[in-house]
Amino acid sequence: MDELHMNTKDITALVLDAAKKARKETSGEGGYASRTSIAWPVNCIVGPGLEGAIACESKIGYVNGVKGALIYRGYDIFDLCAYSTFEEVSYLLIFGKLPTSAQLNGFKKELIEARKITETLRMLMGFPVEKMKAMSALRMGTNFLRHEFSYIDQDDHEIDLKSVIGSDEDSIPMETVPRGEKHAIYEFKRKKRRKTSSRHLHSAAGYKSCYSLISGIACIAGAVNRLREGRLPIEPREDLSHAGHLLYMMTGRMPTPAEERIMDISLILHADHGMNASTFAAMVVASTLSDLYFSVGAGIAALNGPLHGGANEQVIRMLQEIGSVDNVKPWFQRAQLEKRKIMGFGHRVYKAYDPRARVLRPMAEYLAASNKEAAKLFKIAGSLEKITVSSLGKEKKIFPNVDFYSGILYQALGISPHMFTPIFAVSRVSGWAARVMEYMQNNRIFRPRAIYSGTFDEKYVPIRNRR
Ligand code: SDX
């Protein structure tokens, strides 16, 4: 049996070693500030890009940038990687507690059922997917899922417009202080749906849409990869875990236990991360009472940006551009002179080592042990990490983030760079769904302000007199 086929206890040991190292290195960084619930309105110092702004209260996930810690519903990410699975973590994020075995089996059954996306794939194959950016095809796929599984596109579902409250009624004049309205002002009174649609459709904003998107996005990612390779999508199976099924749908071959476990841990690591840009985008769309399919589509659109989700693809390009360990130092010095951002480094919140990178690094190394190309990239990455942290770590708190090693790991699993960000979305859809479902419990449309620094009392000049 080769290295990769070792049973997955070795991988648990890698995670626990990473946990021990992290806890040792950050033991001096104090504990977590426990918070009771917020009494709105709150004071916060806000920087550009809403940096520091408190958008809402949440019990879903906590990121401690100083300690470099990540918590999902009170559980430390290292423990979840060592002992849990992506299905169990998705349940935890959405429902707020670890499931009993009956609850987990029921949840898994829903996810397996939601793998059957025949009509969605038929619609997807009507487009030149092989010529599209994978993230664009993925986002398009969310609209097909919405059409196939929710009644919202059926004629028997109109909103009772009489009950609609214009969004302006909630935006307060610039000069007044936020009221901190406690309860949702918007409630569209949906007409009771006539039971006309024969198909098994569900609301586009309920838990069923969570299952349909968590499974559907994974199957669409698999199909997009196959179509881009000029092949047909693979029929879904019922006998594989979410991670195993994703790899199978992507590569067309059964993953080894080690590959399946490493993909599962990577999906756990990417599932939620506080108010990151894509989660916030998903919540903003949901707050208008749109629906979860459109919210996830907005999340995919935001994640597409290289400052957010697309960095791991850039990391591979960067490591290939460096080309050898000997070239790391001259390359880094040139990058510094050109004020280039090193992809896979730095973070808006983490001013310490990203705990996710702490787990992804040894898993990438594990896979690289039997993959020549990955081994070469891993060596270059290790040397780049050393020189970057020694020059930017102390002074600018620039450390590796989640994207620095994930690309090497995915490439070693047989996934090409154009699918890295879609895989990020396959995982983050659980976090997006959980955060949207939580926020909708006490919804309020997101409507921040902009400070107007323009002019006033301009006189209109007809175009013939303009110079
Ligand atoms: C993710 O929000 C999330 O949680 C996101 C995420 C998630 O799980 O959802 O964690 C996923 O987005 C990971 C980040 C992936 N992106 C990259 O790896 C791209 C490279 N990183 C940078 O673009 C940057 O670090 C950001 C965008 C991630 C964060 O940047 P900030 O906090 O807005 O910081 P900044 O751009 O204002 O930079 C502050 C200083 C600057 O130097 P000075 O002008 O003060 O001299 O730090 C420097 C920057 O030049 N800096 C870097 C750097 N990142 C910041 N210098 C070199 N390389 C970098 N990567």
Q: State yes or no: pLDDT of 333 exceeds 90.
A: yes
259 HSE (CA, 13 A, CB side)? 24
Q: What is the pLDDT of residue 186?
A: 43
The share of the chain scoring above pLDDT 70, in percent, equals 88
Q: Given this model, what pLDDT does residue 414 score?
A: 93
Mean pLDDT, the chain, whole residue set: 89
The whole-number pLDDT of residue 59 equals 96
Distance of CA 403 from the midpoint of ligand 1 (Å): 11
Centre of ligand 1 from the C-alpha of residue 342, in Å:
9
Nearest CA to ligand 1 atom 54: 346
Q: Would you place residue 175 in the very low, low, confident or very high pLDDT band (cuts 50, 70, 90)?
A: low
Is residue 193 scored above 80 in pLDDT? no
Cα distance between residue 213 and residue 218, in whole Å? 8
Q: Is 70 exceeded by the pLDDT of residue 192?
A: no
Cross-strand pairs, 202: 150
- Residues 318 and 321: their CA atoms lie apart, in Å, by 5
Question: Are 302 and 324 within 8 A, CB to CB?
Answer: no
Q: Which of 317, 332, 347, 395 to mutate to test the pocket of ligand 1 (most atoms within 8 A of CB)?
A: 347
Q: Whose CA is nearest to atom 12 of ligand 1?
A: 308
Looking at ligand 1, which residue's alpha carbon is closest to its atom 44?
339
The pLDDT confidence band at residue 178, using thresholds 50, 70 and 90, is low
Burial 37-60 (b: 16+ CB within 10 A, else e): eeeeeeeeeeeeeeeeeebbebeb
pLDDT digits (tens, 9 = 90+) for 62-72: 999 888 999 99
Helices (H), 188-256: 207-228, 242-251
Nearest CA to ligand 1 atom 28: 347
Percent of the chain with pLDDT over 90: 77
pLDDT band at residue 395 under the 50/70/90 scheme:
confident
Residue with tokens 């075995």: 101
Encoded amino acid at 171, one letter: S
Res 154: pLDDT: 73
Best residue for ligand 1 mutational test, from 269, 283, 345, 420 (most atoms within 8 Å of Cβ): 345
Are the beta carbons of 220 and 429 closer than 8 angstroms?
no
Closest CA to 311 of 281, 270, 272: 270
**Half-sphere exposure (CA, 13 Å, Cβ side) for 80?**
32
Q: What is the pLDDT of residue 26?
A: 86
| Segment among 97-101, 105-109, 147-151 with least mean pLDDT | 147-151
Q: Which helix (H) or strand (E) holds 304?
A: none
Alpha carbon nearest to ligand 1 atom 43, residue: 396
Name the nearest CA neighbour of 240 among 265, 257, 221, 220: 257
Residues whose CB is less than 8 angstroms from the CB of residue 8 and which lie 6 or more positions away in sequence, other chains included: 257, 258, 261
228 neighbors 418 (Cβ within 8 angstroms): yes
For ligand 1, atom 20: residue with the closest CA: 343
Per-residue pLDDT, 155: 59
Q: What is the DSSP letter of 433?
A: H
Q: What is the pLDDT of residues 116-138, one digit of tens each?
A: 999 999 999 999 999 999 999 99
Ligand 1 pocket by C-beta < 6 Å: which residues? 273-274, 276, 307-308, 311, 341-349, 396, 398, 401-403
Work out whether the CA dihedral 100, 105, 110, 114 comes out positive or negative. positive
Which of 304, 313, 348, 359 is the pocket-test mutation for ligand 1 (most atoms within 8 Å of CB)?
348
How far lies 84's CA from each of 88, 112, 182, in Å?
6, 18, 36
For 80, counting Cβ atoms within 10 Å of its Cβ (0-12 exposed, 13-18 middle, 19+ buried), the class is buried
Burial class (CB in 10 A: 0-12, 13-18, 19+), 372: exposed
What pLDDT is recorded for position 2? 36
- Tell me, yes or no, if the pTM score tops 0.85: yes
Beta pairing, strands 75-76 & 61-64: unpaired
256-261 own/partner pairs: CB under 8 Å, 24+ apart: 256/4, 256/5, 257/5, 257/7, 257/8, 258/4, 258/5, 258/6, 258/8, 258/10, 258/11, 258/366, 259/4, 259/367, 259/413, 261/8, 261/11
Residue 183: the pLDDT is 47
Q: Which of 116-130, 144-158, 165-179, 323-337 has the lowest mean pLDDT?
A: 165-179
| Distance (Å) from CA 32 to ligand 1 centroid | 24
Residue 274, Ramachandran bin (φ over 0: left; ψ between -120 and 50: alpha; else beta): left
To the nearest 10 degrees (0 to 180), the angle between helices 292-303 and 277-287 is 150
Confidence of residue 7 (pLDDT cuts 50, 70, 90): low
CA angle 278, 224, 274 (to 5 degrees): 15
Which range, of 285-289, 304-308, 454-458, averages the lowest pLDDT? 304-308
The answer to whether residue 240 scores a pLDDT higher than 70 is: yes
More confident residue, 347 or 405: 405
Question: Which of 401, 403, 404, 427 gets mutated to test ligand 1 (max ligand atoms within 8 A of its CB)?
Answer: 401
Counting from 1 in the atom list of ligand 1, the atom nearest the Cα of 346 is: 25
Task: Answer yes or no: are the C-beta atoms of 107 and 448 closer than 8 Å.
Answer: no
Measure 349 CA to ligand 1 centroid, in angstroms. 9
Catalytic residue IDs? 308, 347, 403
The whole-number pLDDT of residue 1 equals: 38
| Cα of 347 from ligand 1 centre, angstroms | 4
CA of residue 305 to ligand 1 center, whole Å? 13
For residue 296, the surrounding DSSP H or E stretch is: helix 292-303
